Structure 1
Amino acid sequence: MTAFLPAMPVSPSRLEDSGHRFDADRRWAASLELGFESREGMTRMTRSRHLGPLRVQRPFHPEGRDAGGRPGACHVYLLHPPGGLVSGDALSISTRVESGAHALLTTPAANKLYKADSHRVAWQQQTRLDVADGGILEWLPQETLAFDGSRGEQCTTIALSGSARCLGWEVMALGRPASQLPYVSGRIEQRFRLTRDGRPLWLERQPLDPGHPRFLGRWGQGGASVQATLWAVGLDDEGEAVEVLREALGASARWAVTVRHGVLLLRYLGQERNEAWALCRLAWEILRPRLIGRPAHTPRIWLT
């Protein structure tokens, strides 16, 4: 027979030091810092520091070289083993792409934002993307699924220098309509800040609060459960790109394309997550050759 010793009590001070709190001050931090440089004619991931459950798979170079001998992007998959954010989670992702380097970052699956705990403690997700003069970054995470009752803040900062180019998107689905669980409580705040050489080009703050009139108002969210934003910075001919997108995507009240201060923005507001994802992918396939002179190369992880 196996004898079990009684568990030793954990003092409040040890509990606080370890970070394993279960009150309103709980906080579970994870961070990831990545760096990319052009070395020996190819983009290399030269920095990868992590804290907590936030990692990357090994970098891939699936695109090879084009007809002119130019190397393709370095593909990297961001891994968060828990699969989502709960109350107290604090994720921080920082990426820097140096001059001459080209990185494509994506995720293996949708990110989930779970219902807040009984203390209504919020989660936090901070993303900072720095691209040096002559660098290229594609930020293409899979969609984010927000469960009813989720509370938190998503902040994305993009800092470009000189002739840096960037293409990215964020797709957000609220609630789980297929399970008859709409997003009727909670609060999520999204913030975007995009600058070039320190000059703001796109600043946005958007609260997603079912209790606010704008959530259902036609002048705001309009009751939509899915939204998406795609941006592209560094296009040679923005007007031509807008016209091609509008023709390819077709007329619809659910999406629109515009350009402001050198930033092309595609917006979607509707009810279909698959429609929003397909829209962003098609736009990426159209814009990528115009932005970097190479056709779209689908990350293998999207096909699994």
Structure 2
Amino acid sequence: MNLAQENLKNAWQASLYLRFGDTAVGTQLLNTKRHGPLNVQRAFFPEGKDCAHVYLLHPPAGIVSGDELRISIDVLEGAHALITTPGANRFYRAREDISIGDSKQYQHVEFRLAKDAKCENFPLETIVYDGADGVNEVDIYLHKNASYLGWDITCLGLPSSTQPFKSGSFTQLNRVFCDDELIFHDRIAVHPNNDIFNHVAGLNAKHVFATFLAHVPLDSDQKSALEQSIDSLRAVVSENDAEGKVSITKIRGLLVMRYLGDNAEECKALFTELWQILRPIVMQKTAVNPRIWYT
């Protein structure tokens, strides 16, 4: 076996498709299609049958050069799904012996929410190791009367373990479409040649950056309640002495909360507190942490 064949053998081309529907017994995971090392066990219902909690499983626990992971999730009319992961995602150091193409490590996640659908997307943090060559894309397609809460948390390197992110590249792209119209486009590409990591208008030498998005039906009382919640959200930020780390803005019907700092656990704790305020408004439910977060 030559080097190209060996690299191809070691590269994972994986995909996972999930479809949730509202049934007579509540939200159900109606359909699962998978290829490669991506899977789910089953739906859990810790807060009743009308909200399905699902854990995305990736047994290799990391993405290496040549890997391409694609996750697609449909939430049909009236259904409510909460998606999370049992552990951090990882983009490992890119291979230097790639001969089957470039060294890219790629993940694309797509959500499609129908009318009156509800979805919460709370993966644990993504760790990007020094020397990685990663691309992570998240596309959200919303009906105007769908409800969405979701975050992504990215950690560049492991500075607390004296493994800072000094080389390599990473691109994070978040897009939100409402009735097929692009309403949010946020892209950051960290590369040694552009100095985005150190630039004061970029990451300002901070290792953790994150975005938390909230969307409610446009023609509803929830929209006014979401706007009125901003003061409460900012009070949480102030109480945690995080004014210089978290920003909260409205962009074309979306509530956008950003974190820029050096501590992924701090970010998750802050976002969880914001979720506790937002969930009763957006989902008409109190916040119930997924059980997997306690393991």
What TM-score do the two structures reach when normalised by structure 1? 0.89
Deviations 1:90-132 (A, max 9, x none): 0000000000100000000111110001136111001000000
Determine helix, strand or coil for the equivalent of 1:216: coil
Alignment check: 8 A CA contact 2:104 2:134 kept: yes
Determine helix, strand or coil for the equivalent of 2:164: coil
Deviations 1:228-274 (A, max 9, x none): 10000004223212111001221511111001101001100011111
Equivalent residue, structure 2, for 1:296: 287
- 1:27 CA displacement: 4.2
Equivalent residue, structure 2, for 1:46: 30
Larger Rg: 1
- 1:22 CA displacement: 2.1
Amino acid at match of 1:256: S
Equivalent residue, structure 1, for 2:174: 192
Q: 2:255 aligns with which of 264, 267, 282?
A: 264
Equivalent residue, structure 2, for 1:245: 233
Determine helix, strand or coil for the equivalent of 1:108: coil
Equivalent residue, structure 1, for 2:95: 117
Percent identity over paired residues: 37
Q: 1:96 aligns with which of 69, 74, 98?
A: 74
Equivalent residue, structure 2, for 1:228: 210
CA distance in 1, matches of 2:192, 2:165: 7
**Equivalent pairs, count:** 282
Alignment check: 8 A CA contact 1:185 1:211 kept: no
Determine helix, strand or coil for the equivalent of 2:43: coil
- 1:77 CA displacement: 0.4
Structure 2: unaligned runs, 5 residues or longer: 217-221
CA distance in 2, matches of 1:242, 1:89: 40
Q: 2:151 aligns with which of 160, 164, 169?
A: 169
- 1:211 CA displacement: 3.8
CA distance in 2, matches of 1:296, 1:137: 13
Amino acid at match of 1:97: V
Question: CA 1:211–1:275 in 2, change beyond 3 Å: closer, same or farther?
Answer: farther
